[in-house]
Chains A and B, each alone.
Chain A
Amino acid sequence: MTVQEESAAAPGGTGQPLVRLTGVQKHYGNLHVLKDIELDVARGEVVVVIGPSGAGKSTLCRAINRLETIDEGDIFLDGQPLPQEGKALARLRADVGMVFQSFNLFAHKTVLENVTLGPIKVRKKSKAEADKRGKELLDRVGVGHQAGKYPAQLSGGQQQRVAIARALAMDPKVMLFDEPTSALDPEMIKEVLDVMVDLAERGMTMIVVTHEMGFARTAANRVVFMADGAIVETADPETFFTNPESDRAKDFLGKILKH
């Protein structure tokens, strides 16, 4: 809970970015998947990362809570470098909410248990307190009435909203979304994006890897365009979508906006 107190004591931050990546490099064998990544994300900012598949977007997102290790460079969260392993890393991850493309809800736990497991086991909250907050969050994302069901009994859109509630239950400083709607039917995409827009409006710091250009236009403060492992262009959404600078971005937008 000190986390929240700190951020409450310094609204808008101290000018220091909440997430900072400098000189980040990563290789998979001969493949250079992250090239010289420099990225600062301010407190309360919503950054959308877009780009063709294989651009390294997901790897970038996963590197921020060290689900992927990096070969070189530094990643700072709230001024602290990412710990290598062990308890310190676990503590850091508790402050970073993560939403996966494939939801990854705990299959053997009910919806409510999914949301309360972290608060109880990691934040050491009482079950009653965690249940109360869990139900609030489930109501907020619109699946409160499903609390007693198992993930497999829910639709994809519902599962992803539970996954968002699970991440929020940890009171994270920043939320990472790794293609949160890519595994969903078109009509379920909206219900998940609505929850994300709501989160953005409430001032959550978000890094969102997505192909949803509509979301990028409405909710993003900044669009980061990646191709071939590098950040090619960074701009506000309006500029990026109407007047992209790089040829690579023009080509990409030409392909996706045509149909």
Chain B
Amino acid sequence: MDVVWEHREAIALAFAYTVLLFLIAGVGSTILGTLLAGMRVGPIPVLRWAGAGYVTLVRNTPLVIVIIFFRYAAPKIDLKFNFIDVVIPTGAGDIRLNNIFAACTVGLTMYTAAFVCEALRSGINAVPLGQAEAARAVGMPFGGVMRHVVLPQAFRASIPPLANVQIALIKNTTVAGALGVAEAFVRMRGLINIDATARIPIFIAFAAIFVVLVEIISFAAHRLERRVRVA
């Protein structure tokens, strides 16, 4: 365990990348996924098809390929993230959010959004049709029906599957490690290189930290579920 304790600051820094990837992609995928779900249940056929097409394409593609696309292929068609370069100084060294970090975040966001969309759609399907009809009957346009009546109720029904999606996301951030972001997985490999005899304790330590992070998400989801429960 010594090697883990010795490098605790570096490990913390690595998990800071993990958490940042998760937070940005988590918020981004929630917003994008909500828009996609709105498109898929909306009255405009072109948008319905676009939403369904997006989900089919992205959900059925391995995450690595999605991220590699933004990391290596997208710059070839002038989709570059070079304008992003944020440095957050910490006691253990700088956290640097550069074009590689951005490409990975965008990939994670786009990939996860497809799953957020479907989780929300399951919630939307759980809202009785009469709710939307009543909202339409008081003269709300589609956007208002969704925003004020359907989505708030759909969200409640979607919390458990949405939590699943976000839990998958935080674990999927390790893929960014393979593409050059110094997140937890990269640090774990680094430590094993430093002290191969401590392989098992290193694995256990990193696994334990992931368990704790995921438990935090589960706990937050559980609290949220209780808070939005209505009578």
Chain A interface (Cβ < 8 Å from any Cβ of B): 65, 67, 85-87, 90-98, 100, 102, 104-108, 117-118, 121-122, 149-150, 152-153, 163, 166-167, 170
B151 to chain A, nearest CB (A): 10
Bound form: Cα–Cα A104–B149 in Å: 11
Bound form: Cα–Cα A132–B5 in Å: 64
Bound form: Cα–Cα A93–B134 in Å: 10
A118 touches B141 (CB 8 A): no
* Interface residue total, chain B, C-beta cutoff 8 A: 21
Q: Knowing A107-B230, A152-B231 are in contact, say whether A121-B140 is a contact too (CB < 8 A).
A: yes
A228 to chain B, nearest CB (A): 25
> Residue B137 at the A interface, CB < 8 A?
yes
A178 to chain B, nearest CB (A): 10
Interface SS of chain A: mixed
Contact of A166 among B131, B136, B138 (CB under 8 A): B138
> Residue B144 at the A interface, CB < 8 A?
yes
A91 touches B139 (CB 8 A): yes
CB-contacts of B54-97 with A (<8 A):
none
Interface SS of chain B: helix
Which residues of chain A are within 8 angstroms of B152 by Cβ–Cβ distance? 108
Bound form: Cα–Cα A85–B134 in Å: 16
B148 touches A117 (CB 8 A): yes
| Chain A, residue nearest B145 (CB) | A90
Bound form: Cα–Cα A87–B140 in Å: 9
A124 to chain B, nearest CB (A): 11
A121 touches B131 (CB 8 A): no
B4 to chain A, nearest CB (A): 47
Contact of A106 among B141, B144, B149, B156 (CB under 8 A): B149
Bound form: Cα–Cα A95–B137 in Å: 9
A138 to chain B, nearest CB (A): 16
B159 to chain A, nearest CB (A): 14
Q: Knowing A100-B130, A108-B152, A108-B230 are in contact, say whether A122-B144 is a contact too (CB < 8 A).
A: yes
A105 touches B134 (CB 8 A): yes
Bound form: Cα–Cα A149–B156 in Å: 19
A90 touches B231 (CB 8 A): no
| Chain A, residue nearest B137 (CB) | A98
A87 touches B141 (CB 8 A): yes
A67 touches B133 (CB 8 A): yes
1/0 per residue B138-168: CB within 8 Å of A? 1111001000110011001000000000000
**Which among A86, A91, A106 has the highest number of chain B CB atoms within 10 Å?**
A106
Contact of A170 among B43, B139, B230 (CB under 8 A): B139
B178 to chain A, nearest CB (A): 43
> Residue B135 at the A interface, CB < 8 A?
yes
Other than the given A67-B133, A90-B139, A100-B137, 11 more pairs (CB < 8 A) read: A65-B137, A67-B136, A85-B43, A90-B141, A93-B136, A93-B138, A96-B137, A100-B133, A105-B134, A106-B134, A108-B230
